[in-house]
Amino acid sequence: MSVHEIKTKVLGYPRIGQERQLKKATESYWKGEITLEALKQAGQQIRKDNWLKQKAAGIDFVPSNDFSYYDQMLDMSCLLGNVPARFQWDGKTIDLDTLFFMARGLRPGATAKSTTTACEMTKWFDTNYHYIVPEYSASTNFTLSSTKVFDEFKEAKELGIVTVPVLIGPVTYLLLGKGPTGFDPLSLLDKLLPVYEDILKRLSALGAEWVQIDEPVFALDLTGRQLETIKKTYERLSKTAGVKLIVATYFGELRANLQTFAQLPVAALHIDAVRGTGEVTEVARSIGGQKLLSVGVIDGRNIWKNDFTASLEILNQTKSIIGARLIVSPSCSLIHTPITLDQEPKLDAELKNWMAFAEQKLQELVQLRGLLDGTTGKDVLAANSQAISSRVTSKRIHKEEVAKRVKAVQQKDLNRASAFPQRRAVQINRLHLPLFPTTTIGSFPQTTEVRNLRSQWKKNAIDTKQYEAAMEAEIKRCVEIQHEIGIDMLVHGEFERNDMVEYFGEQLEGFTFTANGWVQSYGSRYVKPPVIFGDVYRPKPMTVRWSAFAQTLTKKPMKGMLTGPVTISQWSFVRDDQPRSQTVKQIALAIRDEVLDLEKAGIAAIQIDEPALREGLPLRKQDWLAYLRWAVDAFRLSCSGVKDETQVHTHMCYAQFNDIIEAIADLDADVISVETSRSNMELLGAFESFRYPNEIGPGVYDIHSPRVPETAEMVDLLTKASRVLPAEHIWVNPDCGLKTRGWPEVKQALKNMVAAAQQMRTRVKVLS
C-alpha cells in the first residue's frame, strides 16, 4: 500500500488478455485442442499480468476474483452451489466443465447429443455485457462449492499483492436471478447469508483485509422492504470478524436509496460519480465519521480521457467533507473498456489524445490522486486541460449540414403512409408467403475462410474485384442452401460484415475504429466497439450492392439487413459532449437514406435490428418515458419513408420486453422477431394482456448454445406462441443471427425449423 493518505482503487480489470488469450484458450479447450490444465495456465498468466500492472501503476486497492472464464454471476452461482438439476451436478466442488455446461448447454468433450438447455442469458443492467441468470425456487439450497475466490487471492498474495476479493452481493445476486412467477427471491436470504459469512471468514483466515461486495441494485428502484432487507443483510455480514467490507454500487444514481446506502454498517462505500455526480457531496455528508468513500470519477464505461478539472472539483469538495477518508476510483469495473491504447499505433493521433483505455485509466487515477495531495506537478493538469479543450474546439466534430438536417425533422417523417392493416394487405399480395413463414435473423456462419478473405482484402493481398467475386460466391452458396432447406424469406448471409455495428460505422462519417479495442460481450464472444466522436452522416450506400445481388439469385423475397440507430449508438463508445438522443437521431437519418436506397433497388423486406433498445432503457422507471420517446422516434425516422408494400422487420434479443411492450408496438414494424427460446417462450406472457397488433417471430431455438434442437422442441414452442398470438401473425425463425455457428449444425437446425413450420401449417389447416 502506498504512503499517500488518499488511496486509489480499481473495482475490476479486463480479463480477456491483451492479445485476447482467454478467448483463444477457452475456445481451443472446447474444441479439444488443449488440455484443461493449459486453459487454467492461460487464465493464471492473465491474472498475474493484471495484478502486476495495477501494482506497478500505483493502485492501492487491487481486485481479485474479478477474473472469470465466462461470467462473474455464473462464478457466483458456482461458488454458492446453485446448479440447476438438469446439469446433473454431483454435489462436490464445481469444476470448470460444469460451469461451461451451465453456460452453453454442452459439457466440454461431450457429443452434440449430450446437451440440455443452457442457463438463460441477459444484459447486465444497461451495458452490453451479458450475464448468466441464476435460477432458484423455494427449495433451493446454497453451499460453498468452489475454491476460485480463495485460490486467486492466494495466487496474488504469492506475488506480494494483498488483493481485495470481489463478490457479487447477496441481494443483487437474488434480485437479478430467476424464480417461479410470484416467488420472492429475498425469501432465500436466510439460506444464502451463512455461505457468504463462511466465504468472508475463509478470506480473512487467508489474510484478506478488505472484501468488495458489489450491490449495483442500489441504482434501481427498490421498495422500502427491499431497502430494509439490505440494511439487515449488512448488519449481519459486517459482524464477520477480521475483514472489512466495501460495498459498491454503480451504473446510476442512488436517489431514494441514498440514506440506506450511506448508512450501511460497513467500513467503506463506493459510488458512481460519473452518473451520480450530483449526489457525491450528500453521500459524503451522510456516511458518518469513520467510513471511507470511494468516489468513481473516471468513467469505467467509456473511452474518453477524464476531465481532471471537473473531477478535481468533485474530489476536492468531497475531501473538504471527509478528509483523507477518500478513495479515487473508476465509476465501475473496467471490464467495459478496452485494455490499452499502446496497441493502437494506427489510431489517428488527435483522436488518440482524447482517449483513455483501462491501462490509461490506471494512470489517470494515480495522477488525480497526486493532483489532490500535491505530489503531481501542474504540468499534468495543463496537458489534460489542453487535450480536453482541443476536443471541444475541433472542427472535425461538428458539421453544419448535419445539424440543419436534424433540425428539419418533422412529425410526418416518423409515420408510415398507412396503418398496419392496410400495409399488411398490400404486402401479402406482393410477398406470397405461407402461414408460419420461415426466415432467419440475417447472418450465416462466418467461417475461417470468409474471415481470411476480408482480412486479405483489407491488407491489399487481394484486389477488390477478387474480393467481391469471392463474396458473391459465398452469397450464392448461402442462397442455394436456403432454397434447399425451404426457407421462405431469404437473407444474403452478411459475409462481407465483420460486426453488425462496426460494418456500418466503417461507412459512416463521425466514426473511428481501433485495431485491438476488444471488450467482452459474453463468454468467449468479444466485440470491438466503434468510437463515435463527431456528427454522423452517410456519404454513400452501404449494403445495397450485396442485397441487390442476392435478390437476382432468387424469386423469393430477400431481406435487406441493417442495424438500427439505437443499437449502433448503444454498442459503440459514444461521444459524451452532446445528448445521446441527438447522436441517435443523426444515425437514424443515415439509416433512413440506406432504407430508401434498398427499396429503390427492389428489396421487398428490410430488417432494422434493434436488439439494444431495451438495453438502453434507463434503470429508473421515472426516466423511461423520455428515453422511449426519442428511441422509438429514431427507429420510426429510420424506416417510415418507405411505401406500404415494403415490409419493415426489426429484431431484438436477450432482454425483457414485457414492461415496455406498448413502446415495442409503437415502433410500428410490420414484423418483429424476438428471443424466446432460452426462456421457454416466457416473453409471450406480455401478449396475454396486451394484444400486439403486428406480426411477430418468437425465436424457436437458441443459437448461442452449440446444440441442434429437435423439431418437436420447436413445435412445442410454436404451439405455446399460437395460444397467445394469431397463427397468421406468427413467423418462424431462430432467436438470433447464425454467424457464430458452424454450417453442419446450422443446416440441420434450419431443416428442423422448417419441418416445425410445416407441422404447424398442417395442424392449423386441420383445425380450420
With both helix axes pointing from N to C terminus, report the angle between 544-551 and 580-600 in degrees, rounded to the nearest 10.
Answer: 30
Q: Nearest 10 degrees: CA dihedral of 355, 357, 359, 360?
A: 20
CA 449, 454, 456, 461 torsion-angle sign:
positive
Q: Are 156 and 206 in contact (CB under 8 A)?
A: no
The number of beta carbons lying within 10 Å of the beta carbon of residue 480 is 12
Clarify whether 704 is annotated catalytic.
yes
What phi and psi values does residue 33 have, to the nearest 5 degrees? -85, -25
- Give strand ranges (E) for 142-256: 164-168, 210-214, 244-248
User: Do the Cβ atoms of 588 and 628 come closer than 8 Å?
Assistant: no
CA angle (230, 234, 235) in 5-degree steps: 115
Burial tier of 365 (Cβ tally within 10 Å: 0-12, 13-18, 19+): buried
d(CA 644, CA 426): 7
Q: Catalytic residue, from 270, 336, 492, 704: name it.
A: 704
Q: Is 497 left (phi over 0), alpha (psi -120 to 50) or beta?
A: beta
Q: 3-state DSSP call for residue 64? A: strand
Report the first-to-last Cα separation within the chain, whole angstroms.
76
Q: If DSSP codes are grouped into helix, strand and coil, which group holds residue 606?
A: strand
C-beta of residue 671 within 8 angstroms of C-beta of residue 699: no
Bridge partner residues of 294 (DSSP): 270, 327
- CA distances to 625, 635, 663 from 658, in Å: 15, 19, 10
| Radius of gyration (C-alpha) of the chain in whole angstroms | 26
The set of cell numbers assigned to 147 is: 475454491
- Considering only CA atoms, which of 217, 269, 216 is closest in space to residue 238? 269
Angle at 93 between CA 81 and CA 707, to 5 degrees: 75
Nearest-CA neighbor of 129 among 485, 564, 570?
A: 570
Sign of the Cα torsion 147, 148, 149, 150 reads positive
Residue 283 near residue 262, CB atoms below 8 Å: yes
Residue 148 CA to residue 443 CA, distance in Å, equals 37
Q: What are phi and psi of 488, to 5 degrees?
A: -85, -45
C-alpha to C-alpha distance for 243 and 248, rounded to whole angstroms: 16
Q: Which residues have a Cβ under 8 Å from the Cβ of 662 and sit 6 or more positions away?
A: 690
Pairing, β 671-674 against β 647-652:
parallel
Number of H helices, E strands in the chain: 27, 20
- Catalytic residue positions, numbered: 704
